[in-house]
Amino acid sequence: MSNAAGTAAAETKVSVMAENLIGSEIIKLAGEIREKMAKGEKIYNFTIGDFDPAIFPIPALLKEEIIKAYQAGETNYPPADGMLGLRKAVSQMISKWQHLEYADNEILIAGGARPIIYAIFQAIVDPGDTVVFPVPSWNNNHYTHLSHAKQVFVETKPENNFMPTAEELREHIKGAALLALCSPLNPTGTVFSKEQLETICDLVLEENARRGPDEKPLYVMYDQIYWVLTYGETKHYDPVSLRPDIRPYTIFVDGISKSLAATGVRVGWAFGPKRVIDKMKSILGHVGAWSPKAEQVASANYLNDHDGLSQFLNSFKAEIIDRLNGFYKGIQTLKFDGFPVDAIAPMAAIYLTVKFDIKGKCKPNGDRIETTEQITAYLLDEAKLAVVPFSAFGASKTSVWYRLSVGTATMQDVMDSIDSLRRALTALKD
| Contact yes or no for 347/362 (Cβ under 8 A) | no
Cα–Cα distances in angstroms (integers) from residue 29 to residues 122, 143, 187, 212, in the given order: 30, 21, 16, 47
Distance of alpha carbon 207 from alpha carbon 131, whole angstroms: 14
Helix (H, G, I), strand (E, B) or coil at 348: strand
Residue (of 346, 348, 353) closest to 324 by Cα position: 346
Cβ partners under 8 Å of residue 175, min gap 6: 130
pLDDT for 10 equals 56
Residue (of 325, 11, 282) closest to 122 by Cα position: 282
| Contact yes or no for 161/349 (Cβ under 8 A) | no
Cβ partners under 8 Å of residue 105, min gap 6: 81, 87, 274, 277
Q: How many CB atoms sit inside 10 A of residue 28's CB?
A: 11
| Contact yes or no for 200/180 (Cβ under 8 A) | no
As a CATH number, domain 76-305 is 3.40.640.10
pLDDT for 7 equals 53
Distance of alpha carbon 407 from alpha carbon 419, whole angstroms: 20
The per-residue DSSP string of 125-170 comes to: PPTT-EEEEEES-SSHHHHHHHTT-EEEEEE--GGGTT---HHHHH
Residue 17 backbone class (left: φ over 0; alpha: ψ -120 to 50; beta: rest): alpha
Strand 351-356 and strand 401-405: the pairing is antiparallel
Helix (H, G, I), strand (E, B) or coil at 386: strand
Distance of alpha carbon 250 from alpha carbon 253, whole angstroms: 10
Q: Count how many Cα atoms sit within 13 Å of the Cα of residue 417 in the half-sphere of its side chain.
A: 29
- Which pTM was predicted? 0.94
Please tell me whether the peptide bond between 184 and the residue prior to it is cis, using omega within 30 degrees of 0: yes
Q: What pLDDT digit, counting tens, does each position of 117-148 carry? A: 999 999 999 999 999 999 999 999 999 999 99
By the 10 Å C-beta count (0-12 exposed, 13-18 middle, 19+ buried), 377 is classed as middle
Strand 107-110 and strand 385-386: the pairing is unpaired
Cα–Cα distances in angstroms (integers) from residue 109 to residues 118, 392, 412, in the given order: 13, 29, 38
Residue bearing the bigger pLDDT, 187 or 27:
187
Helix (H, G, I), strand (E, B) or coil at 232: coil
The predicted model gives 282-289 an average pLDDT of 95
Distance of alpha carbon 207 from alpha carbon 5, whole angstroms: 54
Q: What pLDDT digit, counting tens, does each position of 317-330 carry? A: 999 999 999 999 99
pLDDT for 25 equals 72
Residue 371 backbone class (left: φ over 0; alpha: ψ -120 to 50; beta: rest): beta
Starting at the earlier edge strand, list the strands of the sheet with 401-405: 341-343, 351-356, 401-405, 388-389
As a CATH number, domain 3-56+311-426 is 3.90.1150.10
Distance of alpha carbon 190 from alpha carbon 343, whole angstroms: 12
Asked if the model's pLDDT at residue 205 lies above 90, the reply is yes
Domain ranges of the chain: 3-56+311-426, 76-305
* pLDDT > 90 fraction of the chain, expressed in percent and rounded: 89
pLDDT for 330 equals 98
Asked if the model's pLDDT at residue 6 lies above 70, the reply is no
The predicted model gives 267-289 an average pLDDT of 97
pLDDT for 32 equals 82
pLDDT for 4 equals 53
Q: What pLDDT digit, counting tens, does each position of 50-66 carry? A: 999 999 999 999 999 99
**pLDDT band, very low/low/confident/very high, at 11 (cuts 50, 70, 90):** low
